[in-house]
Amino acid sequence: MSDEHDEKLDRFDEEYRRWGRRPASIPVGAATTRIRARIVAHRRVRRAATGLAWAAAVAVAVVGSWLVDTRRGAAPTPSPRVGHEAVALPDNVVLWWLDPETPVYFVIRPAEPGQGGR
């Protein structure tokens, strides 16, 4: 290392030590309360963001599988059962069961003719 680099390091160390000797600008109790509040807020935001990310991932997976199935000419996602008979769903509807009693229907608008969309 060069002497210039060593001098810069020494100056940095001295400034850092001087900064560390200063008295605290916020009492310890107030600082602790602020830090805890920020951590709790961060956790809430992170949980909400994680939930939204999961919902988006599921929606993309369902829509993507529907698009793949319709391009191949395969049958749409399984239809709901009413009694022992299956109910036919339109081609633009995807069914996803949250649990045995809670169906979720994804209705996808078909592409308009001439738009070249999917």
Structure letter (DSSP) for residue 110? P
In-domain check, residue 114: no
Tokens 């900064």 belong to 19
Q: Which domain holds residue 43?
A: 3-107
In-domain check, residue 113: no
Q: Which two tokens stand for residue 84?
A: 């022992």
Q: What is the pLDDT of residue 84?
A: 44
Backbone angles phi, psi at 7, to 5 degrees: -65, -40
In-domain check, residue 117: no
Q: Which two tokens stand for residue 99?
A: 């649990």
In-domain check, residue 115: no
How many other CB atoms sit within 10 Å of the CB of residue 66? 20
Q: What residues in the chain have per-residue pLDDT under 50?
A: 84, 117-118
Q: What is the pLDDT of residue 117?
A: 47
> Does the model's pTM come out above 0.75?
no
